[in-house]
Structure 1
Amino acid sequence: MHLDRLSSLLAHFEVRAQRMPTYKDSNLFIFGNAEKNQLHKLILYVDAAPVSSESTAALVYARVDMGGTQNPLLQIMPKTVEIELNKDDPVKTVANLIALEASMSRCGGQFALDRLCDLLVVNILRNRLESNQTEPGIFAGLAHPKLRHVVVAIHDDPGRPWKVDDFVELAGMSRSQFMATFQRTLGKSPMAYLKLWRMTAARNSLLKGGRVKEVARRFGYGSGDAFCRAFVATYGRPPTQLV
């Protein structure tokens, strides 16, 4: 059965993209020749988009929102993602559709462009994940043939009362091998990663208007007080002060 390694991340952090009229406030640029229907490069500035002569000459501009600073993807994504569009693949296909839609004025055009930009971001993340060019962290865990089952399980069901033995069984490894491999690949222990993911997802839920007690229960805390203590330990302030 296919293991979906990205949907939980995308669902929690709502990676979104919007077509922009100019390079200002944009961080996604598609370069090419509209008249010849030829695209040659795509650049996504994950951190910040520097204003340069190259960026002002792009064919398509868009603003990609990775879901806020707490998205763990931001911790391991390079500051700049640059993809040469010189071969037929999903990224080039979607980029071509964006350029085509942007060149015409039709009903529902903005809606179509926004959804195509969303699809483009998904494919950029897929490329990043499948390239295996990852430093220790979440992408390295998702790319690992055995640890990926554990990481996806944590993302899918963070409120479950997980035990290390559950993770060992999912990974199909010995306990000692699993603990050492997880620490080396993700940069922290499995229980520390579970706590961090719970706190990250819980914070995002609170920002969307969730109530503290409901969020605490959803993410595996037996009481609001226990959740608040863990939240303060992670973020330095109680969830009631979250803005």
Structure 2
Amino acid sequence: MSLGIVFLSEVMGTMMLTLLGCGVVANVALRGTKGNAGGFLMVNWGWGLAVMAGVFVAAKSGAHLNPAVTVGILSSGATDYAPNVPISFGSTLTYFGGEMLGAFLGAVVCWLAYKQHFDDEPDGATKLGVFSTGPAKRSYGWNVVTEIIGTFVLVFVILHFGGGVTGLGPLPVALLVVAIGASLGGPTGYAINPARDLGPRIAHALLPIKGKGASDWSYSWVPIVGPLAGGALGGLMAQWLPLVTK
């Protein structure tokens, strides 16, 4: 498979993921929407189903949709990112680039869909929360720990889906994301995906959003470093576990 197809697949899949994921947050958080005040569990389910949609769209490239998943596969000892896509420096950058661009574009389209509600929402922090994550209690070290744990669970379990017969396609991944959000999402909003957070944060900074306020760049490194570390640990553990269970 050409790297151009991989790139386009990851762009479109991650765009769908972010459009629907940021969209459910907008529906719950912004003033005057039909889903306003729908609650955190509605956000959990919305993000889970957003992941399922993105996985279907990006099936050709293996549907990483997430640099932490790419790093997890890399650290797991695999030789291919997807069928006929060998692991190399070039293919790694292709996945990262597609994921970042797709996340940015999905956030832009979400803003277009909710433009009037963004205009009516008086709170800048609420607007930022549609695009990117933020901590319930700001403690950078512990926030990183939370993101490491959540992303470790995501990658470790995803890598084990291939070892069993589920026959359900993307549904197990969607349910896993719902479980992570409901169980581990409270402290940081469970970015568990550097592209999902950084791409929309850049969109927030660039878009002409009325009364948007700052993009909280002082926190932005947490949902990058934590998920990448958690993804690497998940891949290493997935590689190590069979060695100790033989």
Higher RCO (CA < 8 A, seq sep 6+): 2
- Greater fraction of residues in strand: 1
- Greater fraction of residues in helix: 2
TM-score scaled to structure 1, two decimals? 0.25
**Which of the pair has more CA radius of gyration?**
1
TM-score scaled to structure 2, two decimals? 0.25
